[in-house]
Structure 1
Amino acid sequence: MKKKIMFTGGGSAGHVTVNLALIPLFRQEGWAVEYIGSVNGIERELVSPLPDVAYFPISTGKLRRYLDWQNAKDPFRIAKGVYQAYRLIRRRKPDIVFSKGGFVSVPVVIGAWLNRVPVIIHESDITPGLANRIAIPMAEAVCTTFPEAAAHIGKGKGRHVGAVIRNELKQGSAAAGRKLCGFTPGRPVLLVMGGSLGAQSINRAVRQALPELTEAFQVVHLCGKGQLDPALTVPGYCQFEYIRDELPDVLAMSDLVITRAGSNSIFEFLSLRKPMLLIPLTRQQSRGDQILNAHSFEKAGYAEVLEEEGLSPQTLLERVRALHAHRDAYVSAMASGQKTDALAEVFKLIKETAKSR
């Protein structure tokens, strides 16, 4: 009988990308691959097109840290999700569950634990998110991207593996990227990516600075769902809500990146040696993990950091110009950074854990 792995994780693209990197490896070795996610989350959009990967939606509730009337309903949604996940796992009988985190993963991890199915978690940030903090006691092991994360993981569970990078990101064609965007060779390309859901403050500052930005750069802007500006037609500027299949090509042609500081994205840019201007989410918008990520990269010489409180069209222009002027130093620092094959290490750990069950 073939081995079976069940993945979970969602709410944002960052909670899916590691799963997307691992899934082809398991399919190549003949494993059955299944995925539990939310009914309407981005994980369903990203996973459903994959061949031979069964997707099972369950009820989810968001784990909020602030007052909201939805908080009264969410415990019931989570309880329903735990029941659904428990029944699914009992029926589908996976050998192991791999969780990338996000609020949808909590019912799945609980359901696996109740069925005595081993769980491995991946934590991208320096400090675990709330979903992973709840799930860690029920896991066999926790794979971390940052070595600093070990201090926040239970004794003996943390495994520092480094960043898991999707292999296809390294296969892009700069010529195909320029064709997609209508760009010309010979002029530097600035990629703006505020995350899968977009970033209104970054979008606003970039668009206000476009006349000056396009004097020196061609700008490709991934602005997020519902945040296109069809009236904005500036030569050398191309905008998309979100791209998936063409992303390796867009990355291949890009010389600099403006982005948030989500761990998965910035490590992908690091692996491709793309100098970054990081604009992390503020502590009012998040638990502060992106601020820690950004300053870790700044200290290593991989990126410039611009706090959102100081973001304006003018400060954006100044930092982008400085990043471009010193791009060779950033590329050199990234080239000499620590190199690990995290994808292979996580793949091996999952197989060994499933085998020893």
Structure 2
Amino acid sequence: MRLIVAMLLAGTAAPAFAQDHSGHAMPAAPSPAQSECEKEAARHRAMGHPVSEGACAPATQPGEPVSADRHDGHSDMDHSQMDHGQMEAMDHSAMDHQAMDHGAMDHAGMQSSGQAPMDHQAMDHGAMDHGTVDMTPIPLGPPPASAGSGPPSAADAIWGAEAMRASREALRAENGGMKTFWFQGDRAEYRAREGGDGYLWDVQGYYGGDLDKVWFKSEGEGTFGESPEAAEIQGLWSHAIGPWWDLQAGVRQDLTGPERTHAVIGVQGLAPYMFEVDAAAFLSTKGDLTARVEAELDQRITQRLILQPRAEVNLAAQDIPELGVGAGLDSVELGLRLRYEFAREFAPYIGVEQESKVGQSADYARAAGEDPSLTNYVLGIRFWF
């Protein structure tokens, strides 16, 4: 009987256990959005960013009933669009950037989470400690006096004088001691003038080193269809007496007229203001003393177009009637040539030159039926190799 009464009581109490608990404060299961927030918080902690404990707390408070509408709205939230840069718990000014492992930072994950990427261009790399890099400026000025205080042949103490002798000879030969050959046709021209067109050549060259050279020079002129009016050849030894000047001495042989051989001494080089000067005195086997001074200046209009004024003066210490030379100033030549260098070694030119005999030399020219003053219109080539 008691058993039957207990079963009846249990059957009447069953509906009470099936009542609606939706209004009770039941603990809610973690939502997908909350789990995503916790993953982001864990990532920031791994990077060294402080994150508050309540950053990912659920929207409902303990004891607050959770409705179906609230869960539905919470599940529709897009946490990837959340601005985590506005999290109050992040204090970027306190970040220890030196302890951060930038290689392990997930910059792609930070950008996908909505956080602004780091601006590495704005970082002060100048304040970084580069360690072994020496930023000391290189001093300007001459080397200290102690730089040249050592012995001139210090290597002899290590390798021996015999072993270093061959090296020094090779150094002198390869750096200034080598022999070179140079040849230049300074003037090779056709001359149009009154009384018959003519020609002129003026060539020179040398072979040798920086200090000592053997020079060769030749010049002459004439009228087409006639014998050359003047022709000579010189063989000279040249020695450098300074950075810009060579002292020259040798022999000159005349090839026309009364043949004469001359001893030659002179200087050749570069005068101030870039004048190229060739001056020489000649003493012939007949005792005649003469001199010649030539000067020319290259004025560059462009890198290839060059205007060259030129002057030549001939002098004599005495009258030489057989050569038509008077004492003192014998003759003056003034010319102006314009050349174009297709290559540095090859340059055609045009120009004009005035020849004038002076003093007694002019009288000798008139007596021979010659004009003491001539104007030449020239067309020529200047070359060297």
TM-score (ref. length: structure 1): 0.22
User: Which of 1 and 2 has greater Rg?
Assistant: 2
TM-score (ref. length: structure 2): 0.21
1 or 2, which has the higher strand percentage?
2
Larger relative contact order (CA 8 Å, sep ≥ 6) = 1
